[in-house]
Amino acid sequence: MAAPMAFAGGHGKPRVVVVGGGAGGATAARYIAKDSKGAVDVTLIEPSRMYYTCFFSNLYLGGIKTIDDLGHSYGTMAAGGVNVVHDWAVGVDRDAKTVTLAGGASVLYDKLILSPGIDFVDGAVAGWDLSSQNAMPHAYKGGSQTELLKAQIAAMPQGGTFAMVAPPNPYRCPPGPYERVSMVAHYLKANNPTAKIIVADPKPKFSKQGLFQEGWGKHYSGMIDWIGDDFGGGNVSVDPGAMTVTIDGEVTKVDVCNVIPAMKAGRIAELAGVTDGKFAPVNAIDMSTKADADVYVLGDASQQGDMPKSGFSANSQAKVCANAVRGALTGSRVFPAKFSNTCWSLIDTNDGVKVGATYEATDEKIAKVDGFISATGETAEVRKATYEESEGWYAGITADMFG
């Protein structure tokens, strides 16, 4: 007979604490609570009472979605057995197995799952820091920043200039900045057709580049100027007070500037001591960290191998993690780890493209098995079907996250 399990603080029921209520954290919390049927005490710590998805936020910028379309509450999850705590996690004591909250409380755990998303690397873009985010928003976290950028785009003068400073690898949602360029162009074409878009990019190439550039030529001819690293796109500074962008020594006055800096794991992962300085190295088989077998990191904050940092990836990783955590705490069956991802992007009305892959866990990393990508020159019917597929995915993943 197996020895009885001992849990933190002598508590009779194993405790799982999840920090971060997005695609990774919400999914993990909900699945552990649902599948353990009350055998595990699950607490989700998330400061926001309403969660606004970063995925699909570009469609809000393009005028295709409303901000309310992106908002989701935690009420159904709470009714399903998850203890939802709306507070900031500000510390982790891995020896005592506690998470400290900004309100002063301390929460015990047997297993800790961190899914805090991203923060930004200090000094990544010369002239920009978080104090500049109201003048030059990043809008790479859903909610108020997205609303701010939308308002700035709507207030642009006729014939004005929108600039984006794109991020270096690795970053959240590789096609995201370029879908954003497409959706901003979609809005401007209808409301400010003589406006210009400048993209300063430190990378020589980007995800779905051929598909996006084909679409830009077709739908937004002459509006978008992409400046890659070969042409100085990596030599950029900004002046939020003067609203200027300097690219390879050339100063340009702009009306809106979307600065998307280099990224790292959300700060709680760093405070927990499980990152390498930027992201958290994890074991592919269950998403446990290399630093501590009882701490798991999901989604954008993890350094896991071949999967892109996306909502689909985080949701996929969460299910593997939830199964492993539940098995470790209750002795239930643990299935082999399998992962998948698809990233859809909208270029113009009903012009959707996608890229995706399946993955497996190896000793070294989450490794890509096979993949697919939309082709250039596809018919309008195929592109419309791809967009409709993305709408179905959004409905499905948000139901999977929040219940």
Return the CATH number at 235.
3.50.50.60
Question: Which residues of the chain, if any, have pLDDT below 50?
Answer: 1-10
Q: Are strands 98-101 and 89-93 parallel, antiparallel or unpaired?
A: antiparallel
Q: Which amino acid is at 39?
A: A
Same domain, 187 and 242: yes
Domain co-membership, 63 together with 99: yes
> According to the model, what pLDDT value does residue 11 have?
59
> What does pTM read for this prediction?
0.95
Report the helix count and the strand count for the chain, using DSSP H and E: 10, 24
Per the structure, the count of domains in the chain is: 2
Tokens of 331: 């002795």
> Which tokens in the block code for residue 110?
């047997």
What's the confidence (pLDDT) of residue 99? 98
Q: What is the DSSP string of 178-205?
A: HHHHHHHHHHHHHH-TT-EEEEE-SSS-
Question: What does the pLDDT read at residue 12?
Answer: 81
Show which of 259, 294, 311 is a domain's final residue: 259
What is the Cα 283 distance to its own chain's centre? 20
349: number of Cβ within 10 Å: 13
- 132 vs 165: CA distance, rounded Å: 14
Final residue in a domain of this structure, among 337, 353, 385: 337
Cα 71 from Cα 51, distance rounded (Å): 5
**Inside any domain, residue 314:** yes
Query: Do both 201 and 110 map to the same domain?
Result: no
**Does residue 385 form part of some domain?**
no
Among the candidates 237, 259, 281, a domain finishes at 259
Note whether 191 and 133 are same-domain residues.
yes
Are residues 142 and 194 both part of a single domain?
A: yes
Residues 20 and 85 in one domain: yes
| Other C-beta atoms lying within 10 Å of the C-beta of residue 99 | 27
Residues 29 and 111 in one domain: yes
| 368 contacts 357 by C-beta, under 8 angstroms | yes
269 domain residue, yes or no: yes
What is residue 289's DSSP assignment? B
Per the domain annotation, does 355 fall within a domain?
no
How many CB atoms neighbour CB 141 within 10 A?
20
Range of the domain at 87: 8-119+264-337
Q: Does residue 382 sit within a domain?
A: no
β pairing state of 111-114 and 15-19: parallel
- Cα gap 346→215, rounded to integer Å: 10
Domain presence at residue 222: yes
Q: Are residues 205 and 144 in the same domain?
A: yes
Element (H, E) at 33: helix 25-36
User: Does 167 share its domain with 248?
Assistant: yes
Domain match, 312 and 229 both: no
Domain shared by 132 and 220, yes or no: yes
Determine, yes or no, domain membership for 247.
Answer: yes
Tokens of 386: 């791809």
CB 228 within 8 A of CB 204: yes
- Claim to verify: residue 131 and residue 196 sit in the same structural domain: yes
Q: 30 in helix, strand or coil?
A: helix
Residue 351 maps to a domain: no
pLDDT computed for residue 10 by the predictor: 47
pLDDT for res 5: 38
What's the distance, CA 161 to chain centroid?
27
